[in-house]
Amino acid sequence: MKKIAIGQAGGPTSVINATLVGFVKQTMSKCSLSFIRNGYDGLVHGEFIEGNDTTLQWITQHEKVPGACLGSGRYPLSDEEIEKAVRILREKRIDALVFIGGNGTMEALYKVGVEANRQGYDLQVIGLPKTVDNDLGCTDHAPGFGSAAKYVAQTTRDMSRDLHAMQNFEQVRILETMGRNAGWLAAASGFLKTYEEEGPHFIALPERQMNHEKLLQSVETALYRYGFAIVVVSEGVLWNQGAQVERDVVGGRSVLGGISKEIELYLKQELNIMARSELLGMNQRSYSLAVSSVDQSEAYFVGVTGADWIKEGRSGLMVAIERTKGLAYSIHLKPVALGAVVRAGERVMPDQFIDNLKSYYEWLEPIIGDHVSPYPPLFQMRDVKSS
Amino acid sequence: MKKIAIGQAGGPTSVINATLVGFVKQTMSKCSLSFIRNGYDGLVHGEFIEGNDTTLQWITQHEKVPGACLGSGRYPLSDEEIEKAVRILREKRIDALVFIGGNGTMEALYKVGVEANRQGYDLQVIGLPKTVDNDLGCTDHAPGFGSAAKYVAQTTRDMSRDLHAMQNFEQVRILETMGRNAGWLAAASGFLKTYEEEGPHFIALPERQMNHEKLLQSVETALYRYGFAIVVVSEGVLWNQGAQVERDVVGGRSVLGGISKEIELYLKQELNIMARSELLGMNQRSYSLAVSSVDQSEAYFVGVTGADWIKEGRSGLMVAIERTKGLAYSIHLKPVALGAVVRAGERVMPDQFIDNLKSYYEWLEPIIGDHVSPYPPLFQMRDVKSS
Give residue limits of the domains in chain A.
3-130+292-344, 149-285
Q: What angle do CA B154, B159, B160 make, to 5 degrees?
A: 100
Tell me the residue type at B292. S
Query: Is A66 in contact with B169 (Cβ distance < 8 A)?
Result: no
The nearest CA of chain A is from the CA of B381 a distance in Å of 9
- pLDDT-wise least confident of A71-80, A196-205, A236-245, B99-108: A236-245
- From chain B, the residues in CB contact with A61 under 8 A are 375-376
Main-chain phi, psi angles of B257, to 5 degrees: 145, 125
- Give the class (CATH, top level) of B3-144+290-344: alpha beta
Asked if A146 and A367 count as a contact pair (C-beta separation under 8 A), the reply is yes
CA–CA distance, B20 with B300 (Å, rounded to integer): 7
Asked if A143 and A319 count as a contact pair (C-beta separation under 8 A), the reply is no
Asked if A299 and A143 count as a contact pair (C-beta separation under 8 A), the reply is yes
Mean pLDDT of A344-353: 97
Query: Is B166 in contact with A8 (Cβ distance < 8 A)?
Result: no
Main-chain phi, psi angles of A153, to 5 degrees: -65, -45
Q: Which one is catalytic: B41, B133, B135, B295?
A: B133
Return the pLDDT at B380: 56
Return the pLDDT at B241: 66
Which segments of A are annotated as binding site for Mg(2+)? 103
Architecture of domain A149-285 in CATH?
Answer: 3-Layer(aba) Sandwich (3.40)
Q: Please determine whether the domains at A3-130+292-344 and A149-285 fall in the same fold group of CATH.
A: yes
Q: What angle do CA B146, B148, B151 make, to 5 degrees?
A: 110
CA–CA distance, B321 with B130 (Å, rounded to integer): 11
Please name the residues between 241 and 260 in chain A that touch chain B, using a CB distance below 8 Å: 247-248, 250-251, 253, 255
Ranges in chain B, pLDDT < 50: 381-382, 384-387
- From chain B, the residues in CB contact with A379 under 8 A are 37, 58, 69-71
Q: Does domain A3-130+292-344 have CATH number 3.40.50.450?
A: yes
Q: For chain A, how many residues are written?
A: 387
pLDDT over 90 percentage in chain A: 87
Q: Is the peptide bond before B200 cis (omega within 30 degrees of 0)?
A: yes
Return the pLDDT at A32: 95
Catalytically annotated residues of A: 133
Q: Is the pLDDT score of A383 beyond 60?
A: no
Mean pLDDT of A351-363: 97
B37, B67, B282: residue with CB nearest A278: B282
The CATH number that domain B151-284+351-367 falls under is 3.40.50.460
Q: Is the pLDDT score of A93 beyond 70?
A: yes
Q: Is the pLDDT score of A384 beyond 60?
A: no
Test mutation, A13, A92, A166, A279, chain B, max B CBs within 10 A? A166
Q: Is the pLDDT score of A382 beyond 50?
A: no
Tell me the residue type at A222. A
